[in-house]
């Protein structure tokens, strides 16, 4: 489903609000944050005084809208479909000369053409937070897509933070040999491509081919050497080169500022912009949309684990923890330590807390109560070690469960409600 169709589907369900008054770009992060705390709808800003585009914020800021944009009932159905697509990727549908509705600008002035903005008070520059980086893995030839943050550094230059493991390897292997890496940057891409930018598909898997399997004939690509998904609102093409500059500080998902001393430069050769474009703005830091997208990858893994482990009843990645904590609701008597090795491999999640079904997994106070009351000895706390390949040390698992919650000394009190 293309970006405009996803927006229309969510609007038809009453999950989008049109902002009638004129605004500046600098006003948008606060307007989105205020909406998150109220009805948490997507916002469409059509009258932006300092941008030649309609700006859309918070489109993927809820599970309902993510699933609606991908024609799925819920996350369980979506991730089951994703697993089938990973197992059966499809050949890309390419169309010759199919971007007639786009205007192409060579060696663009990105500050003028991209309505990027600062989302946190001390961001060093405007940031492109909704850019999906598309590259070909030189080791396998497979296409890879992932979200990366990019500093708008002036002229046609972006500073790119290749934070996730696969894109970091691709960039390091290419630039380390003194070469450059051909890339595209997609803003307002089809929903299937957006999903693939958030999830892990396995080494050697072509993420565009998986997106094709998800989208069917409704998804198509250009016939360029690096295929661009058609109907993408903004498509930038260029090269990451072995030239490094300091980037940051910038507000990050952790709720802290992130600073990287040296990040590579992307030189944008051309930008294709659809007529009457919709610019997708993802509020950086701990916004609803940022957290919902960041947690799609961990949710996909946890959903597989839930299907294979009957004792794992459900899971939550609560917003209050910024997607860094997973709360696992397990059957009475189940010891979650059996899952530890598989949990360590889940990217971006820092910690896991296992609770009984009598604890509200979305409630910070109830989870804290379970830790204080039920995790009573050192054996209830496990940490990932430094020697596990691909696993960051210091991840934790807290077993905050009670073996026999039917014992009166272990049973949570319930407020008495008179019958009738």
Q: What is the mean pLDDT of residues 112-124?
A: 92
Range of the domain at 83: 3-294
Task: Give the model confidence (pLDDT) of 328-366 as tens digits.
Answer: 999 999 999 999 999 998 988 999 999 999 999 999 999
Sorting pLDDT into bands at 50, 70 and 90, what band is 187? very high
Residue 411 within any structural domain of the chain: no
Sorting pLDDT into bands at 50, 70 and 90, what band is 393? confident
- The pLDDT, as a whole number, for residue 389 is 62
Residue 420 within any structural domain of the chain: no
Same domain, 195 and 58: yes
Same domain, 272 and 366: no
High-pLDDT (> 90) share of the chain, %: 82
Task: Give the model confidence (pLDDT) of 246-273 as tens digits.
Answer: 988 888 877 888 876 789 999 999 999 9
Lowest mean pLDDT among 40-44, 176-180, 395-399: 176-180
CATH of the domain at 128: 2.30.110.10
Identify the domain boundary among 244, 271, 294.
294
Q: Torsion angle, CA of 116/184/71/93, rounded to 10 degrees?
A: 150
Rounded Cα distance, 401 and 114, in Å: 50
Looking at per-residue pLDDT, the higher value among 248 and 168 belongs to 168
Among left, alpha and beta (phi > 0; psi -120 to 50; other), residue 97 is: left
pLDDT higher than threshold 70 for residue 386: no
pLDDT higher than threshold 80 for residue 391: no
Identify the domain boundary among 236, 265, 294.
294
pLDDT higher than threshold 70 for residue 327: yes
Identify the domain boundary among 276, 294, 312.
294
Sorting pLDDT into bands at 50, 70 and 90, what band is 97? low
Same domain, 274 and 156: yes
Same domain, 104 and 223: yes
Tokens (6 digits) for 218 = 């409704």
Task: Give the model confidence (pLDDT) of 35-92 as tens digits.
Answer: 999 999 999 999 999 999 999 999 999 999 999 999 999 999 999 999 999 999 999 9
Tell me how many domains the chain contains: 2
Residue 235 within any structural domain of the chain: yes
CA distances 232 to 181, 228, 236, Å, are 21, 8, 10
pLDDT higher than threshold 90 for residue 387: no
Residue 405 within any structural domain of the chain: no
Which residues have CB under 8 Å from 361's CB, separation 6+?
314, 315, 316, 318, 327, 328, 329, 355, 367
Residue 410 within any structural domain of the chain: no
Among left, alpha and beta (phi > 0; psi -120 to 50; other), residue 394 is: left
pLDDT higher than threshold 80 for residue 126: yes
Task: Give the model confidence (pLDDT) of 291-323 as tens digits.
Answer: 999 999 999 999 999 999 999 999 999 999 999
Same domain, 287 and 373: no
Query: How does the average pLDDT of the chain come out, rounded?
Result: 93
Residue 416 within any structural domain of the chain: no
Same domain, 290 and 300: no
- The pLDDT, as a whole number, for residue 112 is 93
Answer yes or no: are the C-beta atoms of 318 and 349 closer than 8 Å: no
Lowest mean pLDDT among 94-108, 154-168, 270-284: 94-108
pLDDT higher than threshold 70 for residue 100: no
- The pLDDT, as a whole number, for residue 93 is 95
Same domain, 337 and 255: no
Same domain, 267 and 365: no
Same domain, 167 and 214: yes
Sorting pLDDT into bands at 50, 70 and 90, what band is 99? low
CATH of the domain at 304: 3.40.1670.10
Q: Which of 20, 22, 17, 21 is nearest to 50 (CA)?
A: 22
Same domain, 246 and 373: no
Same domain, 309 and 324: yes
Same domain, 149 and 287: yes
7 CA to centre of own chain: 18
High-pLDDT (> 70) share of the chain, %: 98
- The pLDDT, as a whole number, for residue 392 is 73
- The pLDDT, as a whole number, for residue 357 is 94
Residue 153 within any structural domain of the chain: yes
Burial 360-395 (b: 16+ CB within 10 A, else e): bbeeeebbebbbeebbeeeebebebeeeeeebeeeb
- The pLDDT, as a whole number, for residue 98 is 62
Q: Torsion angle, CA of 21/24/26/28, rounded to 10 degrees?
A: 30
Residue 409 within any structural domain of the chain: no
- The pLDDT, as a whole number, for residue 347 is 82
Answer yes or no: are the C-beta atoms of 92 and 221 closer than 8 Å: yes
């Amino acid at each position: 489903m293309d970006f405009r169709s996803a927006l229309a589907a969510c609007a038809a369900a009453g999950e989008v609000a049109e902002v009638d008054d004129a605004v500046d770009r600098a006003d948008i992060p606060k307007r989105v944050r205020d909406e998150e705390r109220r009805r948490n709808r997507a916002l469409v800003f059509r009258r932006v005084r300092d941008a030649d585009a309609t700006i859309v914020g918070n489109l993927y800021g809820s599970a309902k809208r993510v699933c609606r944009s991908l024609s799925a009932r819920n996350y369980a159905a979506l991730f089951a479909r994703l697993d089938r697509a990973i197992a059966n990727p499809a050949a890309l549908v390419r169309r010759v000369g199919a971007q007639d509705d786009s205007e192409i600008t060579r060696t663009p002035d990105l500050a003028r053409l991209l309505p990027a903005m600062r989302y946190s008070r001390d961001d060093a520059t405007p940031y492109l937070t909704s850019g999906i980086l598309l590259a070909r893995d030189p080791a396998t030839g497979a296409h890879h897509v992932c979200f990366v943050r990019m500093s708008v550094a002036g002229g046609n230059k972006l500073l790119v933070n290749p934070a996730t493991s696969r894109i970091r390897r691709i960039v390091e292997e290419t630039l380390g040999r003194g070469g450059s890496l051909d890339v595209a940057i997609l803003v307002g891409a089809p929903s299937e491509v957006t999903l693939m930018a958030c999830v892990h598909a396995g080494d050697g898997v072509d993420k565009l081919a998986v997106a094709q399997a998800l989208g069917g004939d409704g998804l198509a690509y250009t016939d360029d050497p690096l295929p661009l998904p058609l109907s993408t609102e903004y498509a930038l093409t260029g090269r990451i080169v072995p030239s490094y500059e300091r980037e940051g500080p910038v507000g990050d998902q952790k709720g802290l500022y992130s600073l990287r001393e040296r990040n590579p430069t992307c030189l944008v050769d051309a930008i294709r912009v659809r007529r009457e474009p919709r610019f997708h703005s993802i509020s950086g830091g701990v916004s609803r949309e940022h957290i919902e997208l960041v947690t799609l990858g961990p949710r996909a893994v946890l959903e597989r684990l839930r299907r294979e482990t009957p004792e794992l009843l459900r899971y939550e990645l609560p917003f209050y923890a910024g997607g860094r904590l997973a709360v696992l609701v397990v059957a009475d008597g189940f010891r979650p330590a059996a899952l530890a090795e598989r949990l360590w491999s889940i990217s971006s999640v820092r910690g896991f807390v296992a609770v009984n079904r009598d604890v509200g997994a979305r409630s910070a106070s109830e989870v804290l109560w379970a830790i204080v009351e039920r995790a009573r000895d050192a054996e209830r706390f496990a940490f990932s070690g430094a020697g596990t390949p691909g696993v960051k040390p210091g991840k934790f698992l807290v077993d905050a469960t009670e073996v026999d919650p039917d014992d009166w000394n272990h049973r949570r009190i319930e407020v008495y409600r008179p019958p009738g």
